[in-house]
Structure 1
Amino acid sequence: MNSTVVAPADVPTSANFDVRTSSFFRFHDQLPTPAEVRSQARAQWQAGTHWGWKKRTVTDGYNAHPVPAVFEYKETSLFVKWGSSARISEAQALYAIRNSCGNSVPVPEIYGWRTDGDEMFLYMEAIHGRTLEDAWPGLNDNERSQIATELRNILHNLRRLKQDPSDRFIGSITRGCYYERALFEESQAESGPFTSVKDFHDWFIQQYKRMMPDPETVQEPYRKDLPDDSDIVFTHGDLHRSNILISSTSTSPRIAALVDWEQSAWLPAYWEDCKAHWTAETRGEWAVKYLPLILDQHESVWEAWWYYTNPVGC
């Protein structure tokens, strides 16, 4: 597969957008309205029939991070991720990946998105499967290794997405700021775009100083270990096993989709590896045995990355 340049102009930036070429519109004229999504999600939640890729407890904060709504049709199933914490940038990433990588990077097909007040609605294909986190205890060593190899190939295909060499930046797929849970929530509005890796690193190391009374006096023992000459690659940003779905129908486990692309962005090449280790049990089997099979290891950056993120990560 050849590399594909994805420019910000290639991705829709409208607050409301229908992917009219998607499979959903072969059978339907329009997506459910935000009001219909809210009603469906609440009805499924109250009936105890809601489902999603992850277990989620919903209490009085229902509208802050609500359960998804699922619409079952004869031809397909529709999954709607919504709420004030949903981000159009996730839908835009799915759009770009599907258009550029096809099935070589399995992701839910995106059908469109809506903005209603401060809430976003992301309409996508419902993937039937189990999270790798749930399935992991029941997999044997050969099956685990097979999944690791498949993941490495998928990420290799994702890395075939390239920026225009004349427009390199750190930021979201549309050249905006990006969302990152390893940083202060209040710093998200400042998180890009950056026109160089150096500019990004200079901003990155300032985040842990926010809590300090005199930040300018703080020593920088690890700035030199952040490589300003790093390649910039498109990054999932949260390769936790709960974001990897495996097929529930195949006799041998196969990856059905990578989900939850809300933290995806153009980032330094080491970021995927550092973040994957950050979300894993430090000396657990996944981190020690399998992540090295899946991702190139950037051990020279680990200590610096952890030094700057541990005080501020969500």
Structure 2
Amino acid sequence: MTAPQKLPYFRDSEDLPAPLPTKSEILASTNILTGSEPWAYRKVVAVSEFYIAKYGPSNDQIEGDNLLFLEKHDFCGVAPRLYAMWREDDGTLFIVMERLPGETLQSLWPALEEADKSCILAKTRELLSRVRDVPHQGFFGAIDGSHLTYLLFYWPNYPAHVSGPFTTERDMIKGFAAKSRLEAQNNSRISYLADFYEEQLMGSLAVEGREPVFTHCDLQRKNILVEVVEGTADNEKDFRVSLVDWESAGWYPVYWEYFVAFISLKWDDDWCSKFVQAVDSWPAEAAMMKIVYHDLWL
């Protein structure tokens, strides 16, 4: 397991591309990438050409810890480097990370040629394959040995039987059932879905002995950065691909990357048929997990 980084954390100045932005500079940034709504519980802003800052009381330190973990496993250039992380007295957590080059695949997608889409998705698959090859630590959970951070596993105070970490896939399905029953009790009803999870879903989703794989856990075009670079003699251009938003990353079942991508689909363009070029397809598991998603989150 990887112990949580002690805070405050600041990378050595000689290892920075430019002086770190101050708290005032971060708060004053008008280049808001996420969180411009008045009700937003956290913001993501660009500060100069070098830095991205994410801040808010609901920020989770695990994202910064994940970035340090990825750097130790040689993912520099394809995942942001963490430059600073600290918590204010009011509970606001600031995470300052590398601003990777490129545009989101979301913004580029409509203008891309078919060959370009295939090339980018092939490179995304290569990157995700590297992610999945990170050695697991014998459990389904976060890198520090704590609970899984994907939204389905949330419950106040993260009880282990609901949120993990889990030793087996069976334990994880039992966690879904436990959460379903807790939510039902809070609403004075009976969760018959919990019985379904244990009696029927268990046999289809839980495979004995199947090992966890490290998973990005939010494969959407908005989280894929694409930089157009000079190609070879045979190709006028090429692409470099990186991934951002590693907050929910951890060790999950082998089908999880596909499932999370599947439930984010809007079914309004060809991404819904092409994203499988980047990740192994698990349609039956995703369909079953969609039942869980609607029960435990929507």
The two structures have a TM-score, normalised by structure 2, of 0.83
Structure 1, unaligned stretches of length 5 or more?
A: 1-6
Alpha-carbon distance in structure 1 between the residues aligned to 2:168 and 2:13 = 35
Q: Find the partner of 1:65 among 39, 42, 56.
A: 42
Residue equivalent to 2:147:
177
For residue 14 of structure 1, what is the amino acid of its counterpart? K
Q: Secondary structure at the match of 1:219?
A: helix
How far is 1:188 from its partner? 7.1
Distance 1:249 1:217, change over 3 A: closer
Gaps of 5+ in 2: 231-235
- Name the structure 2 match of 1:8: 2
Cα distance in 2 for partners of 1:267, 1:310 equals 19
Cα RMSD of the aligned pairs, angstroms, is: 2.7
Residue identity matched to 2:43: P
Is 2:15 the partner of 1:23? yes
Tell me the equivalent position of 1:205: 177
Post-superposition shift, 1:143?
0.2
1:87 aligned residue: 60
Q: Which amino acid aligns with 1:138?
A: A
Say whether residues 1:308 and 2:285 are aligned partners.
no
Runs of 4+, deviation exceeding 4 Å? 248-251
Contact 1:245/1:256 (<8 A) preserved = yes
Q: Which residue of 2 aligns with 1:3?
A: none
Distance 1:188 1:70 in 2: 34
Number of the residue aligned with 2:78: 106
Q: Which residue of 1 aligns with 2:101?
A: 128
SS in 1 for 2:12: coil
Q: Does 1:226 align with 2:205?
A: yes
Instruction: Please tell me whether residue 154 in structure 1 is matched to residue 127 in structure 2.
Output: yes
Q: Equivalent residue for 2:223?
A: 243
The Cα offsets for residues 99-151 of structure 1, whole Å up to 9 and x where unpaired, read as 21334x70111113112231111111112321111110010100000011001
Greater relative CO (CA pairs within 8 A, separation 6+)? 1
Report if aligned partners of 1:65, 1:83 keep a CA contact under 8 Å in 2: yes
Aligned AA (2:68): Y
- Give 3-state SS (helix, strand or coil) of 1:161's partner: coil
- One-letter code aligned to 1:237: C
Q: 1:217 & 1:91 partners in 2: Cα distance?
A: 36
Partner letter of residue 196 of structure 1? Answer: T
**Letter in structure 2 aligned against 1:240:** Q
Q: For the residues of structure 2 that align with 1:217 and 1:43, how far apart are their CA atoms? A: 47
- Identity value in percent: 24
- 1:90–1:262: 8 Å Cα contact kept in structure 2? yes
Residues 268 and 225 (structure 1), Cα distance of their counterparts in 2 relative to 1, 3 Å cut: same
Describe the shift of the 1:111–1:218 C-alpha distance in structure 2 as closer, same or farther (beyond 3 A). Answer: closer
TM-score by length of 1: 0.79
**In structure 2, which of residues 167, 173, 182 is the aligned counterpart of residue 195 of structure 1?**
167
Q: Which residue of the other structure, out of 256, 260, 276, is the alignment partner of 1:292?
A: 276
Determine the structure 2 residue equivalent to 1:252.
237
Letter matched to residue 265 of structure 1: G
Return the alpha-carbon distance in structure 2 between the equivalents of residues 112 and 83 of structure 1.
15
Distance 1:99 1:184, change over 3 A: closer
CA contact (8 A) 1:240 1:279 kept: yes
Provide the C-alpha distance between the structure 2 equivalents of 1:22 and 1:202, rounded to a whole number of angstroms: 49
Aligned equivalents of 2:122 and 2:72: distance in 1? 24
Query: What count of residue pairs does the alignment treat as equivalent?
Result: 281
**Partners in 2 of 1:159 and 1:125 — Cα distance?**
23
Once the two structures are superposed, what CA deviation does each residue of 1:9-64 show, in whole Å capped at 9, x if it has no partner?
5xx5313223439831x765xx45xxx32x2234223xxxx143x5x4332x46x3
Amino acid at match of 1:155: L
Alignment CA distance shift 1:311-1:218 (3 Å):
closer
